[in-house]
Amino acid sequence: FQSITLFFGEIYGLHNENSLYFTYSGGCNELEVNNLHYEVDTAAQIPWYERLSEFKLPWEINGNKQIAINRLSLRVHSGQMLAIIGSSGCGKTSLLDIITCRDEGGTMTSGQVLINGKPNTPQLVKKSIAHVRQDDRLLPHLTVRETLVFVAKLRLPTHFTQAQRDQRVDDVIAELRLRQCAHTRVGNDYVRGVSGGERRRVSIAVQLLWNPGILILDEPTSGLDSFTAHNLVITLSRLARGNRLVLLSVHQPRSDIFQLFDLVVLLSSGSAVYCGAARDMVPYFTALGYPCPRYCNPSDFYDLT
Ligand SMILES: Nc1ncnc2c1ncn2[C@@H]1O[C@H](COP(=O)(O)OP(=O)(O)OP(=O)(O)O)[C@@H](O)[C@H]1O
Ligand SMILES: [Mg+2]
């Protein structure tokens, strides 16, 4: 077994625990969400002219409000990895979009989001947070390397020389293990390119390139096989150890992935059922009378119940 592990370690560079190619040298960051309440109007997406058949004027239409996030509070600082887990439609993407000021179609009725003690504004978010969204927005006709070179040209500070930019691109490619597909077209639904998992990693690479202090990822492991997903979360956990703040949403993570998280928020229809250290989650529910059955993955078990 050891030789097999060694073999895979050689291929994927696992043997090198310090394979963090660049570290974050900025200050300590803190992200705080206070008593956040967010409602979405489920009827707002239907245009008013489609409602004409109801003989109502636009302002007379009362949409039905749905609570997407219900009185949520959390606090996380540099060096920690916080995972938001929960079933589909529980509000993970909404929460991450609110934190990064990208929410659409909903209203925040109360609460606030603070980044280092300051309310989140689009300018502040742009400076301090890297957000990897659930859907990939990449140029399909560029290769992986071209994509990163292009972003390096636009996003890195002006004092970077061309050699430093190229070095950074190489480091990110190595960090996310994209070497074998560096010269393949990225592609999208219509243009065949790299695999879905590789495309997810390119999206993460694009954000990692400018070396942010806060990294927010929406379902980075969806669509990846369990081995690659595990490796990706190990990479994220290493980034968190390098004094970054990592916030990610995951869909029923495997138990070995779950163990890598420092903090966990378990959402259920927008309400936080559990918010605290990952290792205390099972004892907490056991004390409430819901023990996790033996040989059962806690994130699977509590997600479904
Ligand atoms: N702008 C909107 N208009 C209408 N409904 C919305 C809007 N934004 C969110 N919702 C609703 O809020 C709920 C939470 O959505 P969200 O996208 O945050 O789920 P999620 O946890 O990310 O799910 P998944 O794991 O499938 O990505 C859903 O029921 C969704 O339909
Ligand atoms: Mg989502």
Give the model confidence (pLDDT) of 27-46 as tens digits: 888 999 999 899 887 776 67
Tell me which residue has its CA closest to atom 5 in ligand 1.
42
The SS3 call for residue 229 is helix
- Residue 31: per-residue pLDDT: 92
Eight-state DSSP code of residue 215: E
Structural domain boundaries in the chain: 76-304
CATH superfamily assigned to domain 76-304: P-loop containing nucleotide triphosphate hydrolases (3.40.50.300)
* Atom number in ligand 1 closest to CA 251: 25
What single string gives the DSSP state of each residue in 45-63? TS-GGGGGGGT--GGG--P
Eight-state DSSP code of residue 198: H
Ligand 1 shell residues, CB under 6 Å? 40, 42, 45, 68, 86, 88-94, 104-106, 134, 251
pTM above 0.75, yes or no: yes
Residues 6+ apart with CB under 8 A from 171: 21, 22
Tell me which residue has its CA closest to atom 4 in ligand 1.
42
- Residue 141: per-residue pLDDT: 92
Cβ–Cβ under 8 Å, residues 111 and 183:
no
Tell me the pLDDT tens digit for each residue of 280-292. 999 999 999 888 8
- Residue 20: per-residue pLDDT: 59
Tell me the pLDDT tens digit for each residue of 190-209. 888 888 888 888 998 999 88
Whole-angstrom Cα Rg for the chain: 21
Packing angle, helices 144-155 and 196-208, rounded to 10:
20
Instruction: Return the best residue to mutate from 92, 265, 268 for the ligand 1 pocket (most ligand atoms within 8 A of CB).
Output: 92
Tell me the pLDDT tens digit for each residue of 128-141. 899 988 887 889 99
Show the low-confidence residues of the chain (pLDDT under 70).
1-22, 44-45, 48, 51, 56-63, 304-305
